[in-house]
């Protein structure tokens, strides 16, 4: 199905935005901490036609028989449902969060197509939000910069979609660059592009999509976030970002065991992000493997967001020569990543697939990704 088949005319313009892989820094973003994602060469494309009335119509290649519509005069989360809320929510958030005056604006016909796997922890949702946010901002001439659009995307996902996510995914999708990671301070939104240099080092990132689907709008993610807020309050800080590894003995005295382990993950993960940035700059990507493995262990044991399939993917990749491996994304399913030598890619992928078959799990989808450019007008 195409834009032309749905709407009966050719689109005026096309925008695209990438999914993302988080190299390291999981569940640190909503704790005002540090993250290190990169945009990937899997993209969501928004084809758009300008309308003369105030209607926004939305269709997609993955739900070809449905066209959702909402007037700019009726924008409210209560009127949005399903995946189309990722599009309508952006228009609403541009008005509510960024203060855009939409009173004299006309609507659009929007058609979404994507090769970002859904439910794999590669942020297919942020790819929709960021492509649409850039498009609407350009076409309505709102003059917002990319950092402002990241906040719009997060606000929409939190309040229109109802998923309590941080700002990492949108920042990566909007700010990504070729063969580089985005070092993001989630409190200040200061960013620095750090060279990954995978190509020069003969390395690739292998994504192992376990095909165990997760949903951030359900309870596990929210429960972790609540634990972090309780931990920060008990420690007398605004956010867990304000604690260091040196504060953990006091935290262990003050907090119940579960809350302490949630706090310990975030505090040590923040430190691992900083260590990874320093290591990339000083020694290059071959030296970060132990940090990736430590991150996975922390998510498995302290934050308890891994699943057996993710653990098996990481263990098998490491046993067959990966430089480092960890689950990536919000957890409870989704994908793991492995940093691998280019020549070993096929053997590691085969080993993981065989291990899944032996364990009686669904066959994983295994593919490589490369750090790519962020959202753009195509």
Within 13 A of 211's CA, how many CA atoms are on the CB side? 9
- 125 annotated among ligand-binding-site residues: yes
- 26 annotated among ligand-binding-site residues: yes
CB 64 within 8 A of CB 1: yes
210 vs 214: CA distance, rounded Å: 11
- 120 annotated among ligand-binding-site residues: yes
Which residues make Cβ contacts (< 8 Å) with residue 109, sequence separation at least 6? 3, 6, 7, 11, 48, 49, 51, 56, 57, 59
- 121 annotated among ligand-binding-site residues: yes
- The active-site residue out of 32, 109, 169, 209 is 169
- 2 annotated among ligand-binding-site residues: no
- 137 annotated among ligand-binding-site residues: no
DSSP calls for 143-212: ---HHHHHHHHHHHIIIII-----SHHHHHHHH--TTEEEEEETTT--EEEEE--TTTTTEEEEEEE---
Residue 169 a catalytic site member: yes
- 157 annotated among ligand-binding-site residues: yes
Burial track 275-284 (b if 16+ CB lie within 10 A, e otherwise): ebbebbeeeb
Q: Which two tokens stand for residue 263?
A: 């706090």
φ, ψ (nearest 5 deg) of residue 346: -65, -45
- 156 annotated among ligand-binding-site residues: no
Q: Which two tokens stand for residue 174?
A: 């909007």
327 vs 225: CA distance, rounded Å: 18
| C-alpha radius of gyration, the chain, whole number | 21
- 243 annotated among ligand-binding-site residues: no
- 159 annotated among ligand-binding-site residues: no
301 vs 268: CA distance, rounded Å: 13
- 25 annotated among ligand-binding-site residues: no
- 339 annotated among ligand-binding-site residues: no
Binding residues for ATP: 60, 119-125
Annotated binding site: 26-29, 60, 119-125, 157, 221
Binding-site residue ranges for substrate: 26-29, 221
The catalytic residues are 169
**Binding site feature residues for Mg(2+):** 125, 157
């Amino acid at each position: 199905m195409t834009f032309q088949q749905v709407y009966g005319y050719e689109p005026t313009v096309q925008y695209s935005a990438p999914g993302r892989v988080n190299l390291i820094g999981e569940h640190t973003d909503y704790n005002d901490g540090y993250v290190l994602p990169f945009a990937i060469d899997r993209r969501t494309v928004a084809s758009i036609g300008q309308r003369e009335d105030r209607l926004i119509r939305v269709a997609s290649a993955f739900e070809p028989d449905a066209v959702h519509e909402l007037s700019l005069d009726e924008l409210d989360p209560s009127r949005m449902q399903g995946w189309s809320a990722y599009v309508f929510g952006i228009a609403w958030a541009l008005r509510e969060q960024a203060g855009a005056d939409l009173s004299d604006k006309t609507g659009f016909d929007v058609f979404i197509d994507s090769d970002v796997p859904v439910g794999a922890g590669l942020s297919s949702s942020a790819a929709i939000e960021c492509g649409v946010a850039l498009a609407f901002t350009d076409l309505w001439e709102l003059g917002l910069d990319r950092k402002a659009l990241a906040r719009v995307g997060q606000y929409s996902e939190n309040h229109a979609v109802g998923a309590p996510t941080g700002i990492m995914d949108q920042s990566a999708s909007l700010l990504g660059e070729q063969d580089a990671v985005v070092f993001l301070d989630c409190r200040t939104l200061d960013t620095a592009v750090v060279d990954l240099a995978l190509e020069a080092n003969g390395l690739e990132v292998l994504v192992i999509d376990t095909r165990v689907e997760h949903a951030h709008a359900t309870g596990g993610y929210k429960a972790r976030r609540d634990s972090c807020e309780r931990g920060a309050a008990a420690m007398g800080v605004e956010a867990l970002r304000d604690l260091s590894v040196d504060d953990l003995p006091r935290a262990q005295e003050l907090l119940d065991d579960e809350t302490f382990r949630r706090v310990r993950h975030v505090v040590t993960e923040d430190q691992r992000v900083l260590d990874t940035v320093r290591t990339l700059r000083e020694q290059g990507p071959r030296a970060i493997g132990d940090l990736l493995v430590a991150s996975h262990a922390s998510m498995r044991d302290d934050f308890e967001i891994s699943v057996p399939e993710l653990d098996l993917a990481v263990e098998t990749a490491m046993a067959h020569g990966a430089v480092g491996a960890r689950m990536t994304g919000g957890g409870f399913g989704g994908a793991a990543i492995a940093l691998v030598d280019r020549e070993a890619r096929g053997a590691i992928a085969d080993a993981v697939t065989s291990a899944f078959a032996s364990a009686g799990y669904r066959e994983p989808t295994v593919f490589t990704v490369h750090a790519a450019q962020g959202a753009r007008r195509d």
